Amino acid sequence: MIARLTGMGARLVIFAAVLVTATAAAVAGFLVEQQSAHTVRDLTLRSGAIARGLSAQLAGPLEMGQRTRVEAIVERMETERDVARVEVGDFTGRRVVERDFRPLVEGADPVVVPVRGPPDPDGFHTPIGQVRIHLSAEAVQARRDELAAGAVRVTVSVALVALALAALLALALAAPLRRLKGGVERLASGRYADAEAVPLDGPRELRELGRAFRAAAAAVAERETDLRAVNAALRRTEEMRDAMTHMLVHDLKGPLSNLIMLLGLLETAELDEEDHELLVEGKARCEGLMEMIADLLMVARLESGKVELEPTRFVVDDLIDDALRAIEVLAAQSGFRVEIESPEDDDATAIGDRRLLERVLLNLLTNALHYGESPIRLVARVEADRLRLTVQDAGDGIPPERVARVFEMFGTLDRGRGTGLGLAFVRLAVEAHGGTVAVDGARFTIDLPAGPTSAGRVTAEAA
């Protein structure tokens, strides 16, 4: 039987035995405490009877002043195992005899009985002394030990009975539980067609549990079929979206490139100042639209996880210099001052997709130029190949309630101000590297790990 009680059955036996044993021990302990209190009370009553008998024996000798006889009578109390000390005093309160036979119970009040003389003509007994008897600590402890031993015997008996009953119960449950476990494991492996293999035998609760598993398996199988259909539709939709995005980019990039080239040729023509300014503005708008199309394509690829990073080891100062050169003209036209705090080591390096990270930094600087206030502060820190970039301007920045939407594509922050694609690209590119980007007012902080999470061979950047 012990060999069959494995797994859940053995745990049931152990749990039931421990639970019943602990309960029995607690009850036995409580009863021992209660009986201990009764023991002291019973011993006190018995000592009272002994004290009254001793008082009757001492009345004559004490009245006659026979101290030796009083001592002899008190000495006979040594045979009373419940008595620890006897004190005899006369009517003036003076102690006549005191004998200690064994340790007394600390803190327990002694039993006090007066010693009375023979009755006078009026029937009144004149007090001639008193007897004080203290209880024996050995007697009290012996009673408690006896009670404790009885409690242990009862607890062991209850534990053995509980163990036997628990073993019988576990045997009754173990077999159907094993069958139920096997059926559920088949369902967990995706074999929903085997739902009928889940057993419906055993106690009523196990039968109900089996029926519940069968119903759950049927519902999961049905939902899995629906989810497969939905996932297939989503994949088709995503493929159509990607195809549409690439088609739009292809159809727009060609005409826009030609338009930018024609506008560039027109710049060489002799135009008055107003027409030349309009031409420059138009060309800038076309170039901005070309950049938006490129961002849209890159964001779509990042969202779909189709961008394979090309991690290299690059010099952080070079990354900063290239980004600053790209905004140099715009910063000068806007009257912005850019303050740089680069790593102390001019040759400090980090690992990442150099091209993507430069665009990330450029987008943050451009965002500060468009919506912030001068000066712009760029801080770069490198620790164990871990790169942290912070871009902050002197403006109010993003309100806390709008931070959650700042990285959305074409979202709205407030009147006349949207999110566009730049910050969405920042978030996706940083997350592709396994990093994080945080916003606190006008401060954007990028924290990049020592290397990107996407697979890719790290190569040394050419000087």
> Using alpha carbons only, what angle is made at residue 268 by residues 265 and 270, rounded to the nearest 5 degrees?
125
Tell me the one-letter amino acid at 158. Answer: V
When mean pLDDT is compared over 9-13, 297-301, 343-347, the highest value belongs to: 343-347
Looking at 6-10, 79-83, 445-449, 452-456, which range is the least confident one?
452-456
Over the stretch 171-180, which tens digit does the pLDDT of each residue have? Answer: 666 666 666 6
Top-confidence residue, 107 or 261 = 261
pLDDT bucket at 456, cuts 50 / 70 / 90? very low
CA dihedral 256, 260, 262, 265 (to 10 degrees): -170
Residues 365-374: b if buried by 16+ CB within 10 A, e if exposed: bbbbbeebeb
At 414 the pLDDT is: 57
Say if residue 37's pLDDT is above 70: no
Which fold does the domain 309-460 belong to in CATH? Heat Shock Protein 90 (3.30.565)
**Intervals of CATH 3.30.565.10 along the chain:** 309-460
Residue 233 makes CB contacts below 8 A (sequence gap 6+) with none
Which fold does the domain 8-118+125-160 belong to in CATH? Beta-Lactamase (3.30.450)
Tell me how far apart the 2 most distant CA atoms of the chain are, in Å: 157
Which tokens is 189 given? 């492996």
Rounded Cα distance between 18 and 375, Å, is 72
**Intervals of CATH 3.30.450 along the chain:** 8-118+125-160
Q: What percent of the chain has pLDDT over 90?
A: 9
- Mean pLDDT of the 84-100 span: 80
Q: Kindly report the pTM of this predicted structure.
A: 0.45
- Mean pLDDT of the 418-427 span: 74
pLDDT bucket at 107, cuts 50 / 70 / 90? low
Over the stretch 152-207, which tens digit does the pLDDT of each residue have? Answer: 777 777 777 777 776 776 666 666 666 666 666 766 666 666 666 666 766 676 67
CA dihedral 3, 6, 12, 18 (to 10 degrees): 70
